[in-house]
Copies of this chain bind each other. A is one copy, B any other.
Amino acid sequence: MAGTTIYQVAQEAGVSPSTVSNLLNGRTGKMLPETRARVETAIRRLGYRPNRAAQQLRTGRIQMLGLIVPSVANPFWGTFARHLEAAALAEGFYMLLCNSERDRDRERHYVEELWGDGIGGVVLCSSLPSLDHVKPTVEAGLRLVAFDRTAQPGDPHSVVNIGTDNVLGMRLVTEHLLGLGHRRLAFVSGSIGSINRAERYSGFQQAIEAAGLPQEAGIVWSGADTLDFDDRDTAELGRSAARELLAAANPPTAIVAINDMCALGVIAGVREAGLTVGRDISVVGYDDIMLASMAMPGLTTVRQPVEEMASTAFTKLRQGMESTADSAGHSVLHRPRLIVRDSTAASAALAVKTPAHQGGTR
């Protein structure tokens, strides 16, 4: 809108528009240093900036990527969005943000719309097990990086998956609890429909088995039909889970929540039941959102290296967009990390020989 065109620059520098274009696009091979300098000066003097619309129209490409997340109101996605934007911006790419609200049709619609508008690459954060709804677009040529998801049979070829090892992550916290002497753990989740929820659950089970404990040591509390897609609901879910679990006969000594929001709800529920988290009962979450460190007590959880993952996502996307050959898809698994805080402590059964408030490396 500044309105300076390549023609004005050309005139100012006393050359043709082609020359300016050549310079702009790095075709400086055969160009007198003097000419080059003249053009560069003119560009600077006029404050010329190429018109992106014209560039895109001509080249078909555009320096922009799309990000589709369930909802940026959720701090986990907000954080991811921020890091992805930073990675993109460093290479001159803009980022279009889209909230899918976890709706399949909205995901599809966005993907098609973005593709139709000339955006060549999209990072899709979907919790859906299948990518069928976007398959046609991907097969038409869209570069798709799926985030927080593991490759599934039937996925379109070129899709790159980026995530953390959920099985491992959940094993880590579960083993942490087992190491503290807990022998009766509850796993709290909404429906285990999404891929990573299933993976997390599997990690939980594996840890219990590996410890040689009977299946019954792991109680599963699943709000089955609850539509726990909203964060507030997720937390609420944790709250009711805690209430129910603690009211039952032979309650667990530790509760494993499917994610941090859920864990925060659990903490609230435990407190309402008159117990103290980190003393009477241990609670762990997953994700390490900002609130996890600020909660009282600090929440033991599993951190996903979000920044690193964002950077990988952008790199992969870009690679895909540049090569014309249809690169084969694959998965990049980042390593999750156990973050121990004060919400976990030795099981009450051992509490006699261990100081009550121990357990946190803060």
A residues with a Cβ closer than 8 A to B are 1-2, 49, 51-54, 56-57, 60, 62, 71-75, 77-79, 81-82, 85-86, 94-99, 115-118, 120, 140-142, 231-232, 235, 264-265, 267-268, 271, 290-291, 293-294, 296
Contacts and interface: CB of A to CB of B under 8 A. Distances in A.
Contact of A75 (B73, B82, B296): B73
A116 B98 CA distance: 23
Contacts of A73: 75, 78-79, 81-82, 290
A142 B1 CA distance: 9
A97 B81 contact: yes
Given A73-B290, A116-B1, A53 B62 contact: yes
A15 B333 CA distance: 54
B57 A54 contact: yes
Contacts of A52: 117-118
A97 B97 contact: yes
A115 B232 contact: no
Nearest to A60: B1
B235 A294 contact: yes
Given A53-B54, A94-B117, A232-B293, 7 more contacts: A1-B116, A1-B140, A53-B53, A72-B78, A72-B82, A264-B294, A267-B296
A304 to B, nearest CB: 14
A138 to B, nearest CB: 12
A116 B78 CA distance: 26
Nearest to A59: B53
Contacts of A115: 1-2
Contacts of A82: 71-73, 99
B118 A53 contact: yes
A81 B324 CA distance: 34
Contact of A72 (B81, B141, B231, B290): B81
Contacts of A294: 232, 235, 264-265, 268
A46 to B, nearest CB: 13
Contact of A94 (B49, B96, B267, B271): B96
Contacts of A264: 294
A138 B293 CA distance: 41
Nearest to A71: B82
Contacts of A51: 57, 118
A291 B295 CA distance: 10
Contact of A74 (B78, B117, B118, B268): B78
Contacts of A116: 1-2, 49
A211 to B, nearest CB: 33
Contacts of A96: 94-97
A82 B77 CA distance: 11
A117 B56 CA distance: 11
Nearest to A85: B99
- Determine which residue in A1, A2, A116, A232 has the highest number of CB atoms from chain B within 10 A of its CB, and name it: A1
Given A1-B116, A1-B140, A53-B62, A98 B75 contact: no
Contact of A78 (B60, B78, B140, B232): B78
Nearest to A86: B99
Contacts of A74: 75, 78
Nearest to A109: B89
Contact of A53 (B1, B56, B120, B265): B56
Contacts of A296: 267-268, 271, 296
A199 B312 CA distance: 43
